[in-house]
Copies of this chain bind each other. A is one copy, B any other.
Amino acid sequence: MSGKRKKIIAVIGAGQPSPEEANTAEEVGRELARQGATLICGGLGGIMEAACRGASSEGGLTIGILPGDNAKMANPYVQVPIVTGMGYARNVVVVKSAQAVIAVGGSYGTLSEIAHALQNNIPVIGLNTWSLSKNSKQDNSIILADNPIDAVAKALNLAEKQLPIE
């Protein structure tokens, strides 16, 4: 039965993105839905709303993991609002529930999600997002993508390897 579960891909990014970033996220959402994946995100505005709008327009399922106490805070394209009341600790839940993460731009909240994902060995695909280095040594853990279609293809391919073996 769990073999029938859909892949779940997280889309993360800023609440106040540039118009280009929002377009990118919307196309990511559309492509995820076309490929039959479920979208999970932080449930609020900006990148999260754009991705949910894209997924909804193609009939995909959208899950929003909300930081606050009320489902009303979810963007209108979230079909299943999960109310945590846990503030930014909910970032951990967004990435741990996914088999791969696509980061579009983003600020420190997005960076925390990237870090939590990498800490949990969940692959992160980046579209114009953070670059990391330590002691002048570049960290190449974030997998770069050229465009939304490429990002979704990479995410779904890597997600395959994360799924529980039956």
Write the nearest CB–CB distance from A125 to chain B, whole angstroms: 16
Which of B81, B85, B86 makes the CB contact (< 8 A) with A5? Answer: B81
- How many positions in chain A have a CB within 8 Å of any CB in the partner chain? 56
Interface positions, chain A 27-45, Cβ under 8 Å from B, are: 38
Q: Report whether A97 and B119 are in contact in the complex, using a CB–CB cutoff of 8 Å.
A: no
Q: Report whether A1 and B130 are in contact in the complex, using a CB–CB cutoff of 8 Å.
A: no
Interface positions, chain A 108-162, Cβ under 8 Å from B, are: 108-109, 111-112, 114-116, 118-120, 128-136
Binding site for B on A (CB under 8 A): 1-2, 5-6, 8, 38, 56, 61, 63, 65, 69-72, 74, 76-89, 92-93, 96-97, 105-109, 111-112, 114-116, 118-120, 128-136, 164
